[in-house]
Amino acid sequence: MTTIKGKRILLGLSGGIAAYKAAELTRLLKQAGAEVRVVMTAAACRFITPVTLQALSGKQVHSDLWDASVPSNMAHIELSRGCDAIVIAPASADFLAKLAQGLCDDLLSALCLARECPLLVAPAMNLQMWANPATQRNVKQLHADGVAILGPASGDQACGEVGMGRMLEAQELLEEIEAFFQPKLLAGKRVLITAGPTFEPIDTVRGITNTSSGKMGYAVARAARDAGATVTLVSGPTALAAPRGLERVDVSSAQEMYDAVMVRVAKADVFIGVAAVADYRPKKAMRHKLKKGTDEMTLELQPNPDILGTVAARRKAPFCVGFAAETENLEAFAEAKRRRKKVPLLAANLAQHAFGADDNQLILFDDQGRHELPRAPKIELARALVGHIARLLPKK
């Protein structure tokens, strides 16, 4: 079950070129199981037609404060009741100013003023409009009023300029909305996570690696961030984009991952080792490309440091969570690994089912025994794992 399944979202569009992204957002919200009702300002209807939003939301789109088709004839009250959140995307500079002032001369602004639910806004405007002290004052006011501000991002703008003010992409907005609904189980906690494979160089162009995609580790990082933690993600080479709102440290080899973890671990409350760390590395990495010969070739390997084991053995160790990827005897190997590495919690999965896939299945082992998390998308398993960690964390 996704976190916004069954949630009733009122999606408001004000006038901005980013209105086209709201069409995709409507589709993504619906796909995630939310019920979406769209309200547009007159300016928004100049950028994209209500017909598009009606087709995508499957519901009549409203834009008129005096809409006689709403039974009570009080659209501004009726449409917002029973909503779990109002999301304004795009939120223009003008609309933010109206919200900050409590103006309500059209349906969407009146709905926002009359609401009983949380309000989330995704600013979208030219960089100078965003940087203008008036806008910044309004944003500060909205923040103080408890309105969640999603973005904006920096980048190419429709006007040809480059800078801060771009609305977040639809997928990013979906993730921010999902995050908003997460219980803040790890608020105030600092979480250090390793993810992805490592790459152990043989020469300048070759190396030893594995097929870990990093998806599980990145999902755990997102789930921890959404639960309110300050997250540092030490990542081996992956093709994944850095999740927003956390620090990502890129490394390549196991030794680099070890070093990156060790300089940060003292500050961590929780350490989660999701990375598929190479157990061995070539004894000597050649400084030039190895040439082919006719003879057999032997690669001498030496052990890499055990990152999780080292962290768990610290005098003031953070709460440590290990992952075990096995191909057979999952339960016996996993519990033995938990005891050997002396970690309070270990999540075990079958490597052949987990590596590269979007879904996974986990068994958690702790002092109380085993807890099965049935097959689900990795982000849902990650949220369940974060919930389990929050329950086991020592209460201060």
Task: Report in angstroms how near the CB of residue 355 gets to ligand CTP at its nearest.
Answer: 12
Ramachandran angles phi, psi of 81, nearest 5°: -75, 140
Site residues for ligand CTP, 285-304, by CB under 6 A, read 304
List the structure tokens of 296.
Answer: 């057999």
Which one-letter amino acid corresponds to residue 217?
A: G
Among 61, 325, 362, 382, binds ligand CTP (CB under 6 A): 325
Task: Report in angstroms how near the CB of residue 199 gets to ligand CTP at its nearest.
Answer: 14
Task: Report in angstroms how near the CB of residue 203 gets to ligand CTP at its nearest.
Answer: 22
Task: Report in angstroms how near the CB of residue 101 gets to ligand CTP at its nearest.
Answer: 52
Task: Report in angstroms how near the CB of residue 385 gets to ligand CTP at its nearest.
Answer: 12
389 binds ligand CTP (CB under 6 A): no
Maximum separation of any 2 CA atoms in the chain, in Å: 87
191 binds ligand CTP (CB under 6 A): no
Instruction: Please identify, using beta-carbon distances, which residue of 137 and 342 lies nearer to ligand CTP.
Output: 342
Instruction: Please identify, using beta-carbon distances, which residue of 57 and 304 lies nearer to ligand CTP.
Output: 304
320 binds ligand CTP (CB under 6 A): no
279 binds ligand CTP (CB under 6 A): yes
In order of 239, 308, 364, the CA distances from 331 in angstroms are 31, 19, 10
- Asked about 159 being catalytic, the answer comes back as yes
Among 95, 199, 323, 365, binds ligand CTP (CB under 6 A): 323
Q: Using CA atoms, how far apart are residues 115 and 75, in angstroms rounded to an integer?
A: 12
Instruction: Please identify, using beta-carbon distances, which residue of 64 and 306 lies nearer to ligand CTP.
Output: 306
Among 28, 86, 193, 308, binds ligand CTP (CB under 6 A): 308
Contact, 182 vs 383, CB < 8 A? yes
Task: Report in angstroms how near the CB of residue 308 gets to ligand CTP at its nearest.
Answer: 3
152 binds ligand CTP (CB under 6 A): no
Alpha helices in 17-169 (DSSP H): 19-31, 44-47, 50-57, 75-78, 93-101, 107-113, 127-131, 133-144
Instruction: Please identify, using beta-carbon distances, which residue of 167 and 275 lies nearer to ligand CTP.
Output: 275
Counting other chains too, the contacts that 58-65 makes at CB distance below 8 Å and 24 or more residues apart are 58/30, 62/37, 62/38, 62/107, 63/39, 63/106, 63/107, 63/108, 64/107, 65/105, 65/106, 65/107, 65/110
Phi-psi region of 288 (alpha: psi -120 to 50; beta: other; left: phi over 0): beta
In 3D, which of 264, 291, 193, 202 has the Cα closest to residue 233?
193
306 binds ligand CTP (CB under 6 A): yes
Which one-letter amino acid corresponds to residue 72?
A: S
Strand partners, 10: 37, 86
DSSP tag of 295: S
Quick note: the x/- pattern for ligand CTP over 242-261, rule CB under 6 A, is ------------x-------
Active-site residues, by number, are 159
Binding site for ligand CTP (CB under 6 A): 194, 254, 273, 275, 277, 279, 304, 306-308, 322-325, 337
